Amino acid sequence: MAIRFGYTLMTEQAGPKELVRYAIGAEAAGFDFEVSSDHYFPWLSAQGHAPYAWTVLGAVAQATERVELMTYVTCPTIRYHPAIVAQKAATLQILADGRFTLGLGSGENLNEHVVGEGWPSVVDRQDMLAEAIEIIRALHSGDLVDFHGEFFQVDSARIWDLPDTPVPIGVAIAGSEGIDRFGPLGDHLIAVAPDADLITGWNEHPDTTSTGDGARAIGQIPISWDPDRDTAIARAHDQFRWFAGGWDVNADLRTTAGFAAATQYVRPEDVAESIPCGPDLDAIVEAVAPYWRAGFTDVALVQVGGESQEQFLAEAAGPLLDRLREASGG
């Protein structure tokens, strides 16, 4: 099975018009799909952006023709009500002519705190996500929906514009408990670490569709390509040193100032050890390889730094995709 390689529309590091331009460039460069983050804040102030992802994706759907599109990921529980996410996803699927996948997760305090509803415990966030998926599925059936749950209420709601192609749902999952809880609710697995046990657990679960038999396992990895390695390292350290914090830390920090404080002792050499930096395409291939070896079907690349995107797409993306496909057997 050929591995598919995607491009990340990183809303934290570029404005809306630039993201649409990069999406067009990524399609022309040969990427198979494009994923978009959905943030209200950047991780660090140095990134400098956070446009509304859904408006950007609507424009991207009209500006591209071939690439599949995906939220990676949207939290449908606090900043958005799940009934609104269901409507947005249905509309975007129509605009994209069936190329859209709704990627969902339990969110980060960084983005969800803005509506003043507080930050629930991880247990409650997982329960809220499960309830939200139930609502989205119900609304995507086209039926009139009334729902009275522990966290959400829906009063006589119906989505009037439904796509011919149903919206697939991917869910961000970590660990066997996540598979048990969300595997039966989602169509696809989303994870940001090349965990072979996670793929095995998903495929062996009695209530999931196996990867390769219809389900996708969609990973993501940051890279910092640049003709100059020192420039690539400096950029990754300036804008992406938060990446080393891990989900347990990153989910709970509330502001860019909090991320700056939490990463103040992360050194450039630390970042260079976890993110491939510089012009060496083979080094990038080596960093991505654990994903297909673990059984992932799809991997989205995050090129660090908004200012680097056009050069990356023009000079490196095509040759890099060729090497990735050759190395992965695609």
Is the peptide bond preceding residue 73 cis, with omega within 30 degrees of 0? yes
Please indicate whether residue 205 is annotated as part of the active site. no
In 3D space, the residue among 133, 299, 107 whose CA is nearest the CA of residue 217 turns out to be: 299
Please indicate whether residue 108 is annotated as part of the active site. yes
Active-site residue identified among 12, 39, 113, 237: 39
Active-site residue identified among 27, 34, 108, 131: 108
Cα(136)–Cα(124) distance, integer angstroms:
18
Cα(173)–Cα(8) distance, integer angstroms:
19
3-state secondary structure string across 110-133:
HHHHHHCCCCCCHHHHHHHHHHHH
In 3D space, the residue among 56, 60, 59 whose CA is nearest the CA of residue 74 turns out to be: 56
In 3D space, the residue among 230, 228, 241, 181 whose CA is nearest the CA of residue 208 turns out to be: 181
DSSP 61: H
Cα(52)–Cα(236) distance, integer angstroms:
24
CA distances from 288 to 16, 162, 278, 323 (A): 28, 37, 15, 11
Sign of the CA dihedral with 132 first, then 138, 139, and 144 last: negative
Cα(251)–Cα(248) distance, integer angstroms:
6
User: Given phi > 0 = left and psi -120 to 50 = alpha, else beta, which region is 98?
Assistant: left
- Point out which residues pair with 99 in neighbouring strands: none
**Mind telling me the catalytic residues?**
39, 108
